[in-house]
Structure 1
Amino acid sequence: MEHVDVGQFPSDKTGDDAMTTALLHLEDHYWTESEYLAIGETLERIELFDGSLVVIPTPTGGHQHIVTKLVVALYHVARNAGLHVFPGLGIRLSPGHIRIPDFLITTELNLGERVFDAPVVKLICEVISPSNASADTVQKMRHYANAGIPWYLLIDPRIETFHLLRLDGDRYTEHAKAAPGELLELTEPVVATIDPADLLPPR
């Protein structure tokens, strides 16, 4: 297996611009993790990175369709393996660096917490959004690898392709990929077979 070349994933130039405009330097304030946690629950999904708050763009209905279908598809197999599935939990990749991925498979959690440490995460998934493509295929991929997340499922609705990436050292290697009508076989952290056609929104 070869290491993933992030250039293989289509990326909109506007993705970097979208991330830049989403960085909120309120009065040039450097946000600490304790200040971030003190914000409490919000309607927006807000991440913390390099002392800045990052507001995640509101997902489309198609995006949420995929995440919901993924939860349904993997819920029971995860439970049978003693694991849990969640859409959108706050994950501490390192001190002061908190991301909210689209979907996760985790070990047992204290459900009273708002943010969880990266070691509880066995698989993380991002559904690529046109306005945020570079973040998912370059920036987050690097950060998830650095945090030691074993598996990264990257779903690209634009080309209807699912990429299953496995952590190999400090980088991800493409373990498998599938398009509608093809089967994506998961053997870790759960055993499951997914046909992208079952998860992608109807045309």
Structure 2
Amino acid sequence: MTIAPDGARNGSSEYRAMREIVERMQDSIPGKFEITKEGIVHDMMSPGRPHEFTAGLISRRLEREMPDGVWAYTGTPDVEDGLEGIMRHPDVMVIAVEEMKGQGSFDPRTLIAAVEIVSRSNPDNDWVSKMRDYPLLDIPIYAVFDPREGKGAVLSDIHSTPDGPRYATRKDFVYGEDVTIGEWTISTEGLPRYP
């Protein structure tokens, strides 16, 4: 579900108001809240076991390939750009450990990659909205894993278009194949599917 105030503008008082609403609702209403160009997105169902298990497997498989000092992180906080009016929470954030120090949301420009596991209840959030928002946030690589279909895609090479920045390169994969995210190749063998 998306809640969009009329006339929301980037970096505006509307964004600050949405941010305050999200902060108040997060502890009292189940689900996950993010802020997009259209407004507040509320995924009413908290991620289930197959979703979280997939995120954990991907994180661990990536970290086995990565050098010290780079993590495939599955925790909080969000990534946020108030000027763009976007606050997102990738399921897995590939980020240098050094960039994790400090307080508050992560600067999205410090991410090496964002990985999303498609939600059963709101797949367009991952396949449409985040595919638009992540290049706006200058996240160089976006990997999508879809347990509904047993497939996914890795997007990269941000370029300018009349509609704003977009990913120019898309490499599709099916579960069972190896997939390359940035400099690291991992197996998708055995990733869970939604029943």
TM-score (norm 2): 0.74
Q: 1:185 to 1:32 in 2, by over 3 A?
A: closer
Structure that is richer in helix per residue? 1
Instruction: Provide the residue aligned with 2:144 in structure 1.
Output: 154
Deviation at 1:51, TM superposition (A): 9.3
> Quick one: which amino acid aligns to residue 118 of structure 2?
I
Gaps of 5+ in 1: 1-18
2:115 to 125, 131, 146: 125
1:181 to 167, 176, 182: 176
Hey, what's the Cα distance between the residues in 2 that align with 1:51 and 1:177? 27
Aligned residues: 176
1:67 counterpart = 2:51: no
Hey, what's the Cα distance between the residues in 2 that align with 1:40 and 1:131? 19
Hey, what's the Cα distance between the residues in 2 that align with 1:41 and 1:202? 26
1:87 to 49, 74, 77: 74
Gaps of 5+ in 2: 6-12, 160-164
> Once the two structures are aligned, what percentage of the paired residues are identical?
24
Hey, what's the Cα distance between the residues in 2 that align with 1:118 and 1:125? 13
Q: Is the 8 A contact 1:49 1:97 kept in 2?
A: yes
Q: Is the 8 A contact 2:150 2:193 kept in 1?
A: no
Q: Is the 8 A contact 1:166 1:174 kept in 2?
A: yes
> Quick one: which amino acid aligns to residue 88 of structure 2?
R
SS at match of 1:149: coil
Deviation at 1:118, TM superposition (A): 1.1
Deviations 1:93-120 (A, max 9, x none): 4434211111110122244423111111
Deviation at 1:138, TM superposition (A): 1.1
Instruction: Provide the residue aligned with 1:35 in structure 2.
Output: 20
Deviation at 1:163, TM superposition (A): 0.9
Hey, what's the Cα distance between the residues in 2 that align with 1:168 and 1:53? 25
Deviation at 1:50, TM superposition (A): 5.8
2:88 to 90, 99, 111: 99
Instruction: Provide the residue aligned with 1:5 in structure 2.
Output: none
2:186 to 183, 191, 194: 194
Instruction: Provide the residue aligned with 2:162 in structure 1.
Output: none
Hey, what's the Cα distance between the residues in 2 that align with 1:40 and 1:139? 21
- Please list, as runs of the form range in 1=range in 2, the aligned pairs for 1:132-143 lying within 5 A after superposition: 132-143=122-133
Hey, what's the Cα distance between the residues in 2 that align with 1:51 and 1:181? 35
TM-score (norm 1): 0.71
Q: Is the 8 A contact 1:102 1:125 kept in 2?
A: yes
Deviation at 1:154, TM superposition (A): 0.7
> Quick one: which amino acid aligns to residue 35 of structure 1?
E
Q: Is the 8 A contact 2:148 2:193 kept in 1?
A: no
